[in-house]
Structure 1
Amino acid sequence: MTHLARRARRGSAALAALLLLPAALGACSDDPPDPATQPASDGSGHDVGVQLFQWTWDAIAQECSTTLGPAGYAWVLTSPPNEHITGEPWWTSYQPVSYRLESRLGTREQFASMVDACHEAGVDVRVDAVVNHMTGQDVPGTGWAGSPYEHYEYPGTWTPADFHHCGLTPDDDIAMYLDRAQVQTCELLNLADLDTGAAHVRERLAAYLQDLVGLGVDGFRIDAAKHMATEDVAAVVAALPDDVAVMQEVIRGSAEPITPEEYTPNGQVYEFTYGKELAGVVAGSPGLALELGESTARYVRSADAVAFVENHDTERNGSTLSYRAGTDDALATVLMLAGTYGTPQVYSGYAFEDVDAGPRQDTDGRVLDATCAPDVAPGDDLAPGDWVCQHRWPQVAGMVGWRGVVGDAPVVDTWSQGDAVALGRGQRGFVVVNLGDDELRATLATRLPDGEYCDVLAGAGTCAPTRVRDGRVDVVVPAGSAVAWDVSRTR
């Protein structure tokens, strides 16, 4: 089956799954139900991705089949699949040695099987693509798959002439982010910086991405896009089919000359401001979450943004929340998934004490398959190396399904008081988040049709029905928790 045929089939499968969701209350009446009170059937809420950081290809394949597809995740972001330097730290994956699809996460054959398995589950596959640089090693070495390399010499791939040597700083490393030329032609942490302005370099990088597309890959995160001129990124991704998603890592910096807005003609960009400010909102007034994404001075427009609570870098540098924040981290993700800003990406990694520590590996350096403990939840007691599995937390997985039901329904019935916030999405869903230390009791306005609803965040098979009557609902929300109802789960 061709790649495009698979995409068409997955789209049909996703739409069919949404159509099979239970109808809204009133479906048995003589009057035809109002479409606004039924689960979205156009796939408009089927947009949530998850970054399974340092998960092996075999583990991702299994997770797509058992968890991601059934939960309603639209796509999964993998770690870089190409050959890299050897070593224990996580960042070895971000130091390419060649573009062979052989890494400590699995072989080319395992990668291809993973893509097929995810597609069968209705989940697209996006890849973290490292195309700005090669290794940062001054001493010659051998890559994971046996390829020899030197800092500026990669036999069969690159020669010293294929790299920038900026000459703007004593060691050719970036010293000042207010200088565009340094950021885009000098080296980031000694990583050999490819001359992406050269046509033959662009062509080789495009060939790597095209190879992955040939295996069925649906999109890419362009790592360190900020360190390449926007026209260089454009030239590399121009060779890809139009339906391949492009997400670019461009970290917004105060007063810096390079901005995320420059890169939006190439595809979406990660809006780091969102995650940073959401962490502050959770620590302060949750009601301000309703305003995140609205300031054009601080954010790219919603259609251009990938929104996230944390990723593998920010959980280590402390600029956003992380799994260590427990329920605050989960509730921040609830707020992200409840809103309408950007394309949301959930994060799922492993516990660590040392910020450089890699995932657990066997004696040969192969990463061990991820395993999630039964009934994972925020605040679990985790040892370094344990898989956190945030994407399985009931609050997170439940909101992924909720978002699929509400689709593109507008934000309505907003309410905030102290450490609590509530919002509705048209007549399809309603969510209340209580970040306070005390139980919340309130009577709130909602546009949900009258009837009894099950909390979709309580987990499968659990329903303590909550009644909506005359557009009002009495809510009781324990401290540090959330409730969410939608028209797919009624009593």
Structure 2
Amino acid sequence: MRKPQFVLLTIVVSLWLVQGQKKPNFAANRSVIVHLNEWKWADIGDECERYLQYGSFGGVQISPVAENVIVKGRPWWERYQPVSYNLTTRSGSESQLSDMISRCNKVGIRIYADVIFNHMAALTGIGTAGNKAMSDVKIYPGVPYTPEDFHPTCNIPNYLDPEVVRNCELNNLRDLDQSTQNVQLRIVTYLNKLIGLGVAGFRVDSAKYIATEQLEEIYSKLNDLNTSFFPPKTRSFIYQDVPVFDNDVIGNEGYAKLGNVLESRFSLAISRVFSGKDNLTNLQNWGPDWGFIPTNDSDSDENVKSPIIYTDGSCGNGFVCEHRWPQVRNMVDFRNAVSGTEIGNWWSNNEQQIAFSRGSVGFIAFANGGNLTEKIQTGLAAGTYCDIISGSLVNKTCTGKSVVVDGKGVASIRILESDFEGVVAVFVNSKK
């Protein structure tokens, strides 16, 4: 089985949006959203200016922006326990959030806010802005919400009844009644405030637990995006958390009509392929492409820290910064270049080795076992190309492998089982 980078690179290759859904509002010639989970707002602004703007990255998904209950040990999940819609969190203040959004927009990097309005905190306590969460009596003065704004207390025993799923409590989180005008007003006011600050869109947490007609009402009341950063009449990019479980009567089709959805099954299927449980050739007839892979993993620990950036571009102080790995950055450039092209010249050994082209722009080969030494049609023009996995094109020189394409578009592809990465990727921008 290959290193974790192998799977991450495959993810980048396969990212594209559901046809007919809302646009992500990327600046020109940019794509791919980076999740800088649990980063401070000021540090995200720094990262936009010192790194992200210089590649093809399109935007950053940030951690939840609203006040949350403070939990002992400061686990990541406390940020999904809202106390109010005050924009003060351990990532920073409202002014720091506003400054970061402006800084990133100015260098072409869009910001997508993770928002929670299915529920309020299950725990009683004090929030990051000093407001109280009195969950036992369903009172949240910082909004304010009172018991009349919530559904009756009940659990979700299974996913067989849509009414139960949407009107009962997920893990004892106090379930808001989005059918009421007061709740809708509070939510819309909150989201419109973020739009005013310059966000490009929203990840809607726990959207599955809200009726689609109520979400549609809320989305319809949102303002157009801030014209300081976006063209007039630009609408928010919406992508929704809609997990699908076994024996689940609520699919994601109704939500896909309102915006994009997060396809929770995608990461499981990818992991099965690259762990050798399923055949790599299964990717030839891949299902619908939903565009994102959700994760709750955090690069930092219980207290939000700032990453240390070393001279080689890597991160320290407990951060991994996968987006800074050269292979990932290069593959974001690859993805941006091949966007809109068709998959062609499919090749496989009918086991754990595949290769294909993306139009006449790019070519990639994977070997998840054994040595791959084959002459394969790349679809590319004749010339010498730098492999962007083992290295890069720097001053017309390949720092890693070279791939020579002949006049017929054929190249000798060589991936050894001992190679650190089981991938070779070349595209027009890596031609010497």
TM-score, reference length from structure 1: 0.74
SS in 2 for 1:466: strand
Label 1:182 to 1:372 Cα distance change in 2 as closer, same or farther (>3 A): farther
Task: Confirm or deny that 1:466 pairs with 2:408.
Answer: no
AA in 1 matched with 2:168: C
Label 1:311 to 1:372 Cα distance change in 2 as closer, same or farther (>3 A): farther
Q: Which residue pairs with 2:88 in the alignment?
A: 102
* Equivalent residue in structure 1 for 2:306, among 352, 366, 369: 369
Instruction: Measure, in 2, the Cα distance between the counterparts of 1:122 and 1:478.
Output: 39
Instruction: Measure, in 2, the Cα distance between the counterparts of 1:119 and 1:441.
Output: 45
Task: Confirm or deny that 1:306 pairs with 2:291.
Answer: yes
Instruction: Measure, in 1, the Cα distance between the counterparts of 2:387 and 2:309.
Output: 24
The alpha carbon displacement at 1:238 in A equals 1.2
Query: Does the CA contact (< 8 Å) of 2:243 and 2:262 recur in 1?
Result: yes
CA offset digits 1:355-381 (Å, max 9, x no partner): xxx7242xxxxx11234566589xx9x
AA in 2 matched with 1:55: W
Task: Confirm or deny that 1:487 pairs with 2:428.
Answer: yes
Label 1:56 to 1:459 Cα distance change in 2 as closer, same or farther (>3 A): farther
Q: Which residue pairs with 2:230 in the alignment?
A: none
Give unpaired runs (5+ residues) of structure 1: 1-9, 16-42, 167-171, 294-298, 316-348, 351-357, 362-366
Task: Confirm or deny that 1:80 pairs with 2:64.
Answer: yes
Query: Does the CA contact (< 8 Å) of 2:389 and 2:424 recur in 1?
Result: yes
The alpha carbon displacement at 1:255 in A equals 2.6
Instruction: Measure, in 2, the Cα distance between the counterparts of 1:91 and 1:432.
Output: 38
Query: Does the CA contact (< 8 Å) of 2:60 and 2:112 recur in 1?
Result: yes
Task: Confirm or deny that 1:149 pairs with 2:149.
Answer: no
Task: Confirm or deny that 1:419 pairs with 2:352.
Answer: yes
The alpha carbon displacement at 1:402 in A equals 0.5
SS in 2 for 1:266: coil
Instruction: Measure, in 1, the Cα distance between the counterparts of 2:50 and 2:389.
Output: 19
Q: Which residue pairs with 2:170 in the alignment?
A: 188
Task: Confirm or deny that 1:274 pairs with 2:290.
Answer: no
The alpha carbon displacement at 1:443 in A equals 0.9
Label 1:47 to 1:201 Cα distance change in 2 as closer, same or farther (>3 A): same
AA in 2 matched with 1:249: D
The alpha carbon displacement at 1:435 in A equals 1.8
Instruction: Measure, in 1, the Cα distance between the counterparts of 2:345 and 2:308.
Output: 40
The alpha carbon displacement at 1:144 in A equals 0.9
Instruction: Measure, in 2, the Cα distance between the counterparts of 1:254 and 1:394.
Output: 38
Any runs of at least 4 consecutive aligned residues in structure 1 with deviations exceeding 4 A, and if so which?
372-377
Query: Does the CA contact (< 8 Å) of 1:372 and 1:389 recur in 2?
Result: no
TM-score, reference length from structure 2: 0.83
SS in 2 for 1:243: coil
The alpha carbon displacement at 1:71 in A equals 2.2
Higher mean Cα deviation, 218-227 or 54-63?
Answer: 54-63
Q: Which residue pairs with 1:131 in the alignment?
A: 117
AA in 2 matched with 1:292: W
AA in 2 matched with 1:164: H
AA in 1 matched with 2:82: P
Query: Does the CA contact (< 8 Å) of 1:133 and 1:191 recur in 2?
Result: yes
SS in 1 for 2:54: helix
What pairs up with 1:13-32 in 2 under 5 angstroms? 14-15=27-28
The alpha carbon displacement at 1:158 in A equals 0.4
Q: Which residue pairs with 1:452 in the alignment?
A: 384
Cα RMSD of the aligned pairs, angstroms, is 2.1
Query: Does the CA contact (< 8 Å) of 2:330 and 2:389 recur in 1?
Result: yes
Query: Does the CA contact (< 8 Å) of 2:159 and 2:247 recur in 1?
Result: no
Task: Confirm or deny that 1:227 pairs with 2:164.
Answer: no
AA in 2 matched with 1:274: F
Instruction: Measure, in 1, the Cα distance between the counterparts of 2:348 and 2:50.
Output: 37
Label 1:175 to 1:372 Cα distance change in 2 as closer, same or farther (>3 A): farther
Instruction: Measure, in 2, the Cα distance between the counterparts of 1:394 and 1:134.
Output: 40
Instruction: Measure, in 2, the Cα distance between the counterparts of 1:70 and 1:481.
Output: 27
What pairs up with 1:374-389 in 2 under 5 angstroms? 386-389=318-321
* Equivalent residue in structure 1 for 2:148, among 145, 151, 161: 161
Query: Does the CA contact (< 8 Å) of 1:376 and 1:389 recur in 2?
Result: no
AA in 1 matched with 2:423: A
Query: Does the CA contact (< 8 Å) of 1:98 and 1:157 recur in 2?
Result: yes
Instruction: Measure, in 1, the Cα distance between the counterparts of 2:51 and 2:347.
Output: 33
The alpha carbon displacement at 1:64 in A equals 1.5
Instruction: Measure, in 1, the Cα distance between the counterparts of 2:363 and 2:169.
Output: 48
AA in 2 matched with 1:165: P
Question: Between the two proteins, what is the percent identity of the paired residues?
Answer: 32
Q: Which residue pairs with 1:3 in the alignment?
A: none
The alpha carbon displacement at 1:455 in A equals 1.3
What pairs up with 1:175-324 in 2 under 5 angstroms? 175-240=157-222, 241=224, 242-283=234-275, 284-293=278-287, 299=288, 302=289, 305-308=290-293, 311-312=295-296
Label 1:368 to 1:398 Cα distance change in 2 as closer, same or farther (>3 A): same
Query: Does the CA contact (< 8 Å) of 1:429 and 1:448 recur in 2?
Result: yes
Paired positions, count = 381
AA in 2 matched with 1:52: L
The alpha carbon displacement at 1:203 in A equals 1.4
Label 1:373 to 1:413 Cα distance change in 2 as closer, same or farther (>3 A): farther
Query: Does the CA contact (< 8 Å) of 1:372 and 1:388 recur in 2?
Result: no
Q: Which residue pairs with 1:345 in the alignment?
A: none
AA in 2 matched with 1:105: S
The alpha carbon displacement at 1:211 in A equals 0.2
* Equivalent residue in structure 2 for 1:477, among 415, 420, 424: 415
Instruction: Measure, in 1, the Cα distance between the counterparts of 2:284 and 2:45.
Output: 36
Instruction: Measure, in 2, the Cα distance between the counterparts of 1:459 and 1:444.
Output: 21
Query: Does the CA contact (< 8 Å) of 1:398 and 1:459 recur in 2?
Result: no
Query: Does the CA contact (< 8 Å) of 2:208 and 2:241 recur in 1?
Result: yes
